[in-house]
Structure 1
Amino acid sequence: MNLEVFKHIYFRMPAAVRLLLSIFVLMILFGFIIHLVEPNQFPSVFDGVWWAFITGATVGYGDYVPLTVPGRIIGILLLLSGGGMLTFYITTLAATTINHESKLSEGKVSFNGNHHIVVIGWNERTKQLTDMIADKDPNQEVVLIDRTLDKLPYRHYPVHFIHGDPSEDAVLIQANIKAAEAVLISSDITIDERKADINTILSIIAVRGNNQDVSINAEILTISQVENAIRAGADTVISSNDFMSTLFYHELFHKEQTKPFETVLTLLNNQQFNHIPLPDKLDGNTFKETVLFFLENGELLLGIIRDGKWHMNPRPDMELDKDDTLIILSSW
């Protein structure tokens, strides 16, 4: 290896690594020299290296001490050079650690993991979502992309923050979108609804362009943009305004002693919906017979999807067809 190649490699190393490498070389050099100068006091090179590290760190155990004038001069040179390098290394290491944590909070550090969930947009909804994910599976990595936040304290929230525009490839690469398992795009409710939906659709296009297989779940505020979100590549479109309007309607006109909001919230927290094809052995069975079949397995049949139409809680004698999709409710 010539000098230019060495410089090319050495000066591209992180500062802390360069310092540590330099310290090791310096200490080995001083350990070898003191062994040559005072072989009786330092029987082996390792003894000399041990003395060099202890002296350079200003610990001074006193188990190995140079007795001759040349040996003491070597000790003085070691303190003038090696001691300063060790102190500088410790300071640099501390500064690097603090700087890295600061960059994490500012969203400047790329994520290198995989099978993670990417959440786009930071608001009260996504904040609660990350808490729910952390409670369900503390090992699940969540990467947050947001352009409105200047800083997100790394220790306070269970997410890896990336600052930037989610419609830009460079930002998505920082979030390692190619290795992501799922993406959730939350609408920005602080701006005009149509503009928020356009931003969401742009993010969908960018995500789909970088990962053809990832599951994309997007929130859309205006009904007219739902189809565009699906065309852009969203697997699931959540029309939050439509959902809330329906929920408000139930709250206004529900029967007495009924609590629609609490019921729906409790249901979604404790149960999950599954869509499954009708098992072959149940082809031709009535809805009532199929309900009893799933009840034996601890699941509840709510309805069916046939030819694109949803039939919730149909009549008990309705016969099921092999092409039907069943809507099942089961525990998490």
Structure 2
Amino acid sequence: MNLESFKHVFYRMPMAVRLLLSVLVIMLFFGAVIHLIEPHEFPSVFDGVWWAFVTGATIGYGDYVPLTVTGRVVGILLILSGGGMLTFYITTLAASTINHESDLSQGKVSFHGNNHIVIIGWNERTRQLIDMIAKKDIKQEIVMIDRTLNKLPYRHFPVHFIHGDPSEDAVLVQANIDKANSVLISSDIIENERKADIDTILTTIAVRGNNQDIPINAEILTISQVENAIRAGADTVISSNDFMSTLFYHELFHKKHTRPFETVLNLLNEQQFSHIPLPSELEDSSYKEAVTFFLDNHELLLGIIRDGDWMMNPSQEISLNNEDTLIIISAWE
């Protein structure tokens, strides 16, 4: 490697690395020089390097001391050059750490992990979602993308924050979307509902363009945009307004001594839903027999999906066939 190539590589290194290399070279140089000047006092180059470090750091243990005038001149030069270099390295490293922490909080640092969850849109819903994920699996890594939030202290939330527009490829690359496990796109409820849905659809297109296989869960506020979200590449469309409207209806007209909202909330917190094909041993069985089969496995059969129709709690005598999809509820694993 010629000098120009070395300079090209050296100056492209991070500042802390360049300073560390410079410190090592200077200490090695002074260690070798003092060994050559006073071989009896400094029997090996390593002894000289040890003396150079403790002298340059102004610690001065006194276990190795130059005795000749030439050796002491070398010591003076070491203090003037090496000591300042060591101090500069330590302060630069500290400043770099502080700057990196600031950049993390401001969403300027790219994420390089994998198997993470990408959540798009910071609001109270996603904040609570992050808390729920952290309680269930503290090791699960989460990347949050938001363009309205200027700072998210990483010490306060278990997420890696990326500031930017999630519909832009460069921002998704920062979030390492290609290595993510799944994506949740939350609607911006501050925006007009139609505008918020258009932003969600654009983000869905961008995510799908960067990762053809990743599961995308998109929140849509208006019914008219549900099909567009699916066309854009969303695997699951969460129509939050429909869900809340249904809950409101049940709260207004529920029977006495029932609490629909709390019941649904606790059900979703403690249990998980699964859609499974009909087990071969249940072909031509009745719905009642299937309920007993799943109860023996500590699971509850809620209904079936047949030809696109959802049949919740159907007649006990209805016969099941191998094209049915069963809706099961079970405890979180």
SS at match of 2:249: helix
The CA deviation at 1:280 is: 1.3
Listed one character per residue, the Cα deviations across residues 91-139 of structure 1 (whole Å, up to 9, x for unaligned) are 0000000000000000000000000000000000000000100000011
Q: Structure 1 CA distance, aligned partners of 2:144 and 2:216? A: 14
Q: 1:295 is aligned with what amino acid?
A: L
TM normalised by structure 1 equals 1.00
What secondary structure is seen at the aligned counterpart in 2 of 1:108? coil
Structure 2 Cα separation of the partners of residues 280 and 2 of structure 1? 71
Give the CA deviation at 1:60: 0.3
1:197-212 matches, within 5 Å, as: 197-212=197-212
- 2:36 alignment partner in structure 1: 36
Q: Distance in 1 between matches of 2:5 and 2:153?
A: 41
The alignment partner of 1:189 has SS state of coil
Distance of 1:158 and 1:174 partners within structure 2: 18
Structure 1 residue 173 and structure 2 residue 165: aligned? Answer: no
Partner of 1:222: 222
**Paired letter, 2:300:** L
The equivalences for 1:1-332 within 5 A come to: 1-332=1-332
Q: Secondary structure at the match of 1:274?
A: strand
Residues matched between the structures, number: 332
Q: Which amino acid aligns with 1:302?
A: L
Per-residue CA deviation, residues 201-236 of structure 1 (Å, 9 max, x unaligned), is 000000000000000000000000000000000000
How many Å apart are 1:281 and its aligned residue? 1.4
The SS at the match of 1:219 is: strand
Indicate the SS of the match to 1:224: helix
Paired with 1:287 and 1:154, the residues of 2 have a C-alpha distance of: 50
1: distance between equivalents of 2:282 and 2:54? 79
**Aligned equivalents of 2:250, 2:321: Cα separation in 1:** 32
Shift of 1:154: 1.1
After TM superposition, give the deviation of residue 149 of structure 1 in Å: 0.4
Letter in 1 for 2:239: S
The Cα of 1:330 is off from its aligned counterpart by 0.4
SS in 1 for 2:58: coil
Offset at residue 27 of structure 1 (A) = 0.4
CA RMSD, Structure 1 to Structure 2 (Å): 0.4
Q: Secondary structure at the match of 2:327?
A: strand
**Residue by residue, what CA displacement relative to the aligned partner does 1:65-106 show, whole Å, maximum 9, x if unpaired?**
001100000000000000000000000000000000000000
Unaligned stretches of 5+ residues in structure 1 = none
Structure 2: distance between partners of 1:3 and 1:281: 75
Q: Deviations for 1:180-220, whole angstroms, at most 9, x for unmatched residues?
A: 10000000000100000000000000000000000000000
* Deviation string, structure 1 residues 232-282 (Cα, Å, up to 9, x no partner): 000000000000000000000001000000000000000000000001111
Q: Following the alignment from structure 1 to structure 2, what is the Cα–Cα distance between the partners of residues 116 and 90?
A: 34
Identity level (%): 77
Counterparts of 1:5 and 1:13 in 2: how far apart (Å)? 13
CA distance in structure 2 between the partners assigned to 1:130 and 1:140 by the alignment: 10
SS at match of 1:301: strand
| SS state at 1:94 partner | helix
